[in-house]
Amino acid sequence: MEVTGKSLVDRIRNRNARAGVVGLGYVGLPLAVEFARAGVTTVGVDIDGRKVAEIKAGRSYIPDVPSSDVAALVSAGRLAATTDFASIRDLDTVNICVPTPLRKTKDPDMSYVVSAAEQIAKHLHPGMLIVLESTTYPGTTAELLQPKFEGSGLKAGKDFFLAFSPERVDPANEKFNTRNTPKVVGGITPACTRVAEALYSVAVDTVVPVSSTQVAEMVKLLENTFRAVNIGLVNELALMCDQMGIDVWEVVNAAKTKPFGFMPFYPGPGLGGHCIPIDPFYLSWKARQSGFEARFIELAGHVNAAMPEYVVQKVGDALNTQRKAINGSSILALGIAYKKNIDDVRESPALDVMHLLHQRGAVVHYADPYVPALRAGQWNGGFDLTSLQLDRERLERYDCVVILTDHACFDFARVGSDAQLIVDTRNAIQAATAAPVFKLGAPHTDARTSTLALA
Ligand SMILES: NC(=O)c1ccc[n+]([C@@H]2O[C@H](COP(=O)([O-])OP(=O)(O)OC[C@H]3O[C@@H](n4cnc5c(N)ncnc54)[C@H](O)[C@@H]3O)[C@@H](O)[C@H]2O)c1
């Protein structure tokens, strides 16, 4: 019997369908909470028993999701969590939100997606909808997932529904969240798209259907490649400005007054997070298989990947003006999360800067209230560190303070007045300071001699 999808769409609209989310991380938990909040009974499945236990106890481990929301939904019976994939048997829809990292060789690591799909395939039943949300190369849903699910004898678009919908979570964004960020959806067949559209429509204000899973997959890669390339461009401009004695920050801030045709991107110590440093390489890997060389992606990758090394060079130059070497200097890394106001250190360039400084003989410590501890396995320094409190005595003690993440909670005026020497990769220091400041992409300032000098 062919399944038209109408009955599932009706059940979704009437909030009688049961939804599942596989992978309860930065993407999966907010989505599961949004489905549950919309009145759909939702079960989260994760292999990490600690996360499941936290949700069962009504606690959130994702900063953008308040524990009070999780607690209320769990006690109302609308949100549950389990490590048991057999619960998928009773679900009507499943969203896959597992990691898609890169291997050391910069090839896609699809092992999490494959393992989740194999578990789901065991419990696939007629009439079910499965949506992949993990960022991946164009073709994944049709080439990798569809055959796995059809191994059960059921046919996509006929017996069950399969779609791809890219995730656009932006941690710590106060304006855009899961509900008000438009969601792109592309199915294996038009019926698949329709059913997936119905699912997202209960939890997301605007759903944007596209013609295929490949288009939906490519949309995400365009969005993130656009960022990676533009950040690469502005990072290169920062290096150029450093050479030419021009302040790149002033340039970008003036350029962004143009009300059309320009969008500001800012330089920094390098790319971080689970998306921008990784996703473009999913695309270049896939393009290479078709004999196409993605030159912009590779070039931006080179420029961005070289930034931590450049920051270290800048620290060396700054210390040199004080007749000091990196070797033996004490250096405080200020902020180590990959961007401001979040707790995520995945792929954070700050960790590379710290490692490179440590490798050159510096004594490296860090202060980041969002990251109370850094375990040996999280960076290449090979030992555990804990975040230090910022106080005058401490700031005065370090030979150099390197600003790597401009969290809003940092008192940069105090840093400016108490530190001996500052390297600022984020344009965080805005006012005149007692200490010399070496800004990325700008002439260095030294209030003691009241001069502007080239770094
Ligand atoms: N974090 C972001 O800002 C963001 C934004 C857009 C897209 N994405 C993409 O979304 C996907 C998920 O990213 P994330 O940041 O939520 O990752 P995450 O690491 O925070 O969460 C992934 C979760 O999946 C679980 N998991 C791993 N393998 C599993 C399996 N086989 N079965 C069940 N659970 C499993 C992990 O335990 C973890 O809880 C990735 O493809 C990522 O590129 C992330």
Cα(299)–Cα(306) distance, integer angstroms: 11
| Region 178-203 average pLDDT | 97
Asked whether 165 lines ligand 1 (CB < 6 A), one says no
SS3 call for 423: strand
What secondary structure letter does DSSP report for 140? Answer: I
Asked whether 247 lines ligand 1 (CB < 6 A), one says no
Q: Which residue has the higher pLDDT, 455 or 326?
A: 326
Name the residue with the closest Cα to ligand 1, atom 4.
169
Name the residue with the closest Cα to ligand 1, atom 32.
116
Whole-angstrom CA distances from 366 to 35, 210, 217, 248, 353 are 39, 45, 38, 27, 11
Name the residue with the closest Cα to ligand 1, atom 31.
116
The string over 220-231, giving b where at least 16 C-beta atoms fall within 10 Å of a residue's C-beta and e elsewhere, is bbebbbebbbeb
Q: What is the pLDDT of residue 432?
A: 84
| DSSP codes, 73-124 | HHHTTSEEEES-GGGGGG-SEEEE-----B-TTS-B--HHHHHHHHHHHHT-
Asked whether 85 lines ligand 1 (CB < 6 A), one says no
Are 332 and 391 in contact by the 8 Å Cβ rule? The answer is no
User: pLDDT confidence of 451, banded at 50, 70, 90?
Assistant: very low
Asked whether 113 lines ligand 1 (CB < 6 A), one says no
Residue type (1 letter), 62: I
Asked whether 23 lines ligand 1 (CB < 6 A), one says yes
Pairing of strands 161-164, 422-424: unpaired
In ligand 1, the atom with minimum distance to the C-alpha of 26 is 16
pLDDT digits (tens, 9 = 90+) for 116-156: 999 999 999 999 999 999 999 999 999 999 999 999 899 99
Asked whether 28 lines ligand 1 (CB < 6 A), one says yes
Q: What is the pLDDT of residue 377?
A: 93
Name the residue with the closest Cα to ligand 1, atom 21.
25
Asked whether 26 lines ligand 1 (CB < 6 A), one says yes
**Cα of 167 from ligand 1 centre, angstroms:** 10
Cα(3)–Cα(317) distance, integer angstroms: 68
Residue type (1 letter), 415: V
Name the residue with the closest Cα to ligand 1, atom 41.
134
Q: What is the pLDDT of residue 444?
A: 84
Q: Which residues make beta-bridge pairs with 374?
A: 385
**Cα of 102 from ligand 1 centre, angstroms:** 13
From 73-87, 353-367, 433-447, the region with the lowest mean pLDDT: 433-447
Q: What is the pLDDT of residue 135?
A: 95
pLDDT digits (tens, 9 = 90+) for 400-420: 999 999 999 999 999 999 999
Q: What is the pLDDT of residue 455?
A: 41
User: pLDDT confidence of 243, banded at 50, 70, 90?
Assistant: very high
Which residue in the list 241, 275, 400, 409 is annotated as catalytic? 275
- Catalytic, 400? Answer no
Asked whether 22 lines ligand 1 (CB < 6 A), one says yes
Residue 3 reports pLDDT greater than 70: no
Cα(84)–Cα(53) distance, integer angstroms: 13
User: pLDDT confidence of 454, banded at 50, 70, 90?
Assistant: very low
For the chain, give the mean pLDDT. 95
pLDDT digits (tens, 9 = 90+) for 279-299: 999 999 999 999 999 999 999
Query: pTM value?
Result: 0.92
**Residues ≥6 apart with Cβ < 8 Å to 403:** 334, 335, 412, 415, 422, 423, 424, 425, 426, 428, 429
From 273-282, 328-337, 351-360, the region with the lowest mean pLDDT: 273-282
**Cα of 3 from ligand 1 centre, angstroms:** 30
